[in-house]
A and B are shown apart, each in its own frame.
Chain A
Amino acid sequence: MLHVLAQQDPGELQKGLTAIGRGIVYGGAAIGPGIGIGLVVASAITAMARQPESSGAVRTTMFLGIAFTEALALFGFVLAFIISG
């Protein structure tokens, strides 16, 4: 499983650049949804703490909000696989 990379050739460089591009694509796509999901969950927790009797409805809406926000990060995840060197 572990082996040693000693040599380097032009094909390796292109592979490395592709890998860096994939990392940037997914990393960039994860910034906004990360903040967004944090906001959604923070507001949901505040709402549940203020009105514990409405936590059922809040939880359902929270999952919906997470699902819509998370979609952007997942598009980035899929796009990172579509990029090929």
Chain B
Amino acid sequence: MTHVLAIDFPPISHLIEWPSGPLGINKVVVLMWLSVILVFGLMFAGSRKKALVPVGVQNLAESAVDFIHNGIILETIGPDGMGYAPLLFTMFTFIFALNIWEIVPFAQMPVNARIALPLLLALLVWFIYNIVGIIKQGFFGYFKTAMFPPGVPWPLYILVSPIELVQIIIVRPLSQSVRLFANMLAGHLLLTSFAIITASLWSLSLLIVIWPASFALLVALTAFEVLVSFLQAFIFTILTAVYIGGSMHPDH
């Protein structure tokens, strides 16, 4: 028997490229605007009525701020990094709102599955930690402490210094943006694959016995992608805090 059953999987460009209207505005851009409005609206509503015992939206907003303070800044930068709380809070909530479109019905497209926005955010972080380091330690001091970490035997500096220089200039923004982008793209493709498989099995009479397993896995993966959305926003924010903390306190 030479016939092979195959499932028609659409090319990648059909899954992540959308027709654009005037000024290149497409679905991804509209979803980005919606997330800006969503985050601003939620936080605005949460900060209006300052009740002593928070309920509802205020509770959500205060837990998020508390999470940024205690879970990210105190763990990585320290008490003197509280000035970066607005930046890190905005970054965390914005990235989470962008990611969560992945599982919202009828949207189902994570904005970060296109590399433009992760790259922009990573470049913003790149400027911030380099400028903070240059301001705190001076231009030559910053590059000296970055390239010559203490406690290394001197012949190893031949190996260590170029790696550290390349790391703070190229590797950090590259890995930070690609990590967010690739995680979201992978999640999107995973959900699409299982949706296609589930739909294909529904129309086929013989293989319908394994349809429930496929459908259950699709539901489970959707729940898993909620976790991934949160985790990627958390990791992007905490890496930003770690980079800023490394520029502020060079010794550790």
Which residues of A are interface residues toward B (Cβ below 8 A)?
Answer: 1-6, 56-57, 60, 63-64, 66-68, 70-71, 74-75, 77-78, 81
Contacts and interface: CB of A to CB of B under 8 A. Distances in A.
B201 to A, nearest CB: 9
B166 interface: no
Contacts, number: 64
Given A2-B6, A2-B7, A4-B5, A60 B178 contact: no
Interface string B1-15: 011111110001000
Size category, B interface: 20 to 34
B179 A67 contact: yes
B203 to A, nearest CB: 7
Contacts of A60: 71-72, 75-76, 238
A-B CB proximity, top 8 nearest: A74-B182, A1-B200, A71-B175, A67-B235, A60-B75, A77-B182, A4-B3, A5-B4
A81 B235 CA distance: 24
A18 B186 CA distance: 19
B75 A2 contact: no
Nearest to A78: B182
B242 interface: yes
A71 B238 contact: no
B183 interface: yes
A78 B178 contact: yes
Contacts of A1: 7-8, 196, 199-200, 203
Given A2-B204, A64-B242, A81 B199 contact: no
18 contacts: A1-B199, A1-B203, A2-B6, A2-B204, A4-B4, A6-B2, A56-B71, A60-B72, A60-B238, A63-B234, A64-B235, A64-B238, A67-B239, A68-B175, A70-B179, A71-B179, A74-B179, A81-B12
Interface string B113-134: 0000000000000000000000
Given A60-B238, A74-B178, A74-B182, A6 B75 contact: no
Nearest to A7: B2
A63 B8 CA distance: 37
Given A4-B3, A56-B71, 13 more contacts: A1-B8, A1-B196, A2-B204, A4-B6, A5-B4, A56-B75, A60-B238, A66-B235, A67-B239, A71-B178, A77-B182, A77-B185, A77-B186
A2 B8 contact: yes
A4 B3 CA distance: 6
A63 B75 contact: no
A50 B232 CA distance: 28
A65 to B, nearest CB: 11
Contact of B75 (A4, A57, A77): A57
B208 interface: no
Contacts of A63: 231, 234-235, 238
A4 B7 CA distance: 9
Interface in B1-48: 2-8, 12
